[in-house]
Structure 1
Amino acid sequence: AKVSKKQAEPVEEVAEVEDVPEEVEGDVDEDDQTAALLAGFESDDEADPEEDNDFEDGAVAPKVSKKDQTALEKALKSSKSNEPGVVYIGRVPRGFFEAEMKKYFSQFGRVNRVRLSRNKQTGASKHYAFVEFASSEVADIVARTMNNYLLFGHILKCHLIPTEQVHPDLFKGAGQRFKVDPRNKKAGLQMERGVDRAQWEKRVVKENKRRKGQSKALLEEFGYEYD
């Protein structure tokens, strides 16, 4: 699917209150702690507006200026000796997961790793991610080009993260298939066991009541006590 002309043009930045996103507040994992250091890096709430569109496969990156194109080509030629660069991406559209994100941003240059922040219990996207490019120059161009870019109903927020602020474990687990926290499964099994035990206790009470009834009948008719 092609990006419309309206989508291909960055929109004017709207003044916003620069506070830490809700997703990165509190005691959370290392990648969220890194995001918390980046004042003004704002992402969408987990609940998207109904009018938002989903990400469409085949979307193309916006055209870069001639100046940025020249810098991009230069960066690509020297990427072997260049240091990697990490870009924070906020307000990520629904359906824009790790594989789609890597494919999309690879149009600019080589992408080393992608880390989409997810809810540990459900696996749902928290709507912000981190992308590591092989070249820091390419990462800088991507951050400047894609910031405030309208993509499927979302105004992306892209910022280059200073090297000294990149947490060592930022990309821990990147590239691995997400697994839902087993605590949910354990809780479900415990609930099932609780139901099974309740049913078993109910059957025991019923059986004891039946036995008492038989014992009383035998005692009255034959003088025999039934255990």
Structure 2
Amino acid sequence: MFSLSKSVSRLKSLSKNRKSGDDVSGDPPLKKKAKKAKKSPKQDVGSIDPKTGLAKRGVVMISDFPIGFYEKQMSEYFSQFGKVLRIRISKNKKTGKRRNYGFVEFEFEEVAKIAAQTMDNYLMFDHIVKCKFISSDELKEKPNLLKRWNKEFVTSTQIHKSLHNKNKSIEREFKLTRNRLKKVHEMESKLKESGIEYKCQVIDLPDITSLRNARKVTQKET
């Protein structure tokens, strides 16, 4: 049976919720969990570091995430659960290409647990994201999980390239030139044994005689 008084009271409560900024339509499950995690969590004895007396930080390992969901995007996305302190995505040492796993550190351990539980097996752009909470005991065994998280990544290719292109000493230049000429002579001798008479022409190679003389001068000065 229709009740006018109940309808009026219902409308008043809805208008009051709208004025206070509450969502009257209801939050999705993910937003509810994120709001719950974002509140200051109650710290139990096990979540406090006995050495510092501060709350333990929580780390989540995330894998199988879609391309483009990297440090900046992760920071913005996981901030709905709580304060994100550090993010590091593993990269290939040779090419610098991101591998498909990384680590997200939260301010509180409880927040990390809720984030890992909520986002595990979460479908994102045809990728089923995997999340795993890493306990403080596991972090002690692997202290380098978040090492150099804010440093510019330098690949091994870039390191070798800079070493190759840097200014070389006369001694170093002499040894490199001598080794290159040695390889050329070895190749010529192998061709000669096969019945092929061919003289290799080396391009952009410093004069070995001038390098030898300069080397002698530097050795006398030292």
How many pairs were matched up?
A: 140
Secondary structure (helix, strand or coil) at the match of 1:141 reads helix
Matched, 1:72 2:37: yes
- Which one has more relative contact order, counting CA pairs under 8 Å at least 6 apart? 1
Secondary structure (helix, strand or coil) at the match of 2:96 reads coil
- CA shift for structure 1 position 71: 4.4
Greater C-alpha Rg: 2
Which residue of the partner structure matches residue 122 of structure 1? 95
Which residue of the partner structure matches residue 107 of structure 1? 80
Higher relative helix content: 2
Which shows bigger deviation, 114-123 or 175-184? 175-184
- CA shift for structure 1 position 82: 2.5
Deviations 1:119-158 (Å, cap 9, x if unpaired)?
A: 0111111110000100111100100100011111211000
Normalised TM-score (structure 2): 0.53
CA distance in structure 2 between the partners assigned to 1:187 and 1:95 by the alignment = 32
Which residue of the partner structure matches residue 140 of structure 1? 113
Secondary structure (helix, strand or coil) at the match of 1:64 reads helix
Matched, 1:199 2:203: yes
Match of 1:88 among 43, 46, 61: 61
Matched, 1:173 2:148: yes
**8 Å CA contact 2:38, 2:80 repeated in 1:** no
Which shows bigger deviation, 75-84 or 134-143? 75-84
CA distance in structure 2 between the partners assigned to 1:135 and 1:75 by the alignment = 9
User: Identity percentage over the alignment?
Assistant: 39
Is there any run of 5+ residues in structure 2 with no aligned partner, and where? Answer: 1-27, 49-53, 167-172, 182-201, 209-222
Secondary structure (helix, strand or coil) at the match of 1:86 reads strand
| Amino acid paired to 2:137 | E
Secondary structure (helix, strand or coil) at the match of 1:199 reads coil
Is there any run of 5+ residues in structure 1 with no aligned partner, and where? Answer: 1-61, 205-227
Question: How large is the Cα RMSD of the aligned pairs?
Answer: 3.4
List, as ranges, runs of 4+ consecutive aligned residues in structure 1 with deviation greater than 3 Å. Answer: 68-71, 73-81, 186-190
Q: 1:200 to 1:116 in 2, by over 3 A?
A: closer
CA distance in structure 1 between the partners assigned to 2:31 and 2:74 by the alignment = 22
- CA shift for structure 1 position 159: 0.6
- CA shift for structure 1 position 117: 0.3
Secondary structure (helix, strand or coil) at the match of 2:55 reads coil
**8 Å CA contact 1:108, 1:138 repeated in 2:** yes
Matched, 1:155 2:128: yes
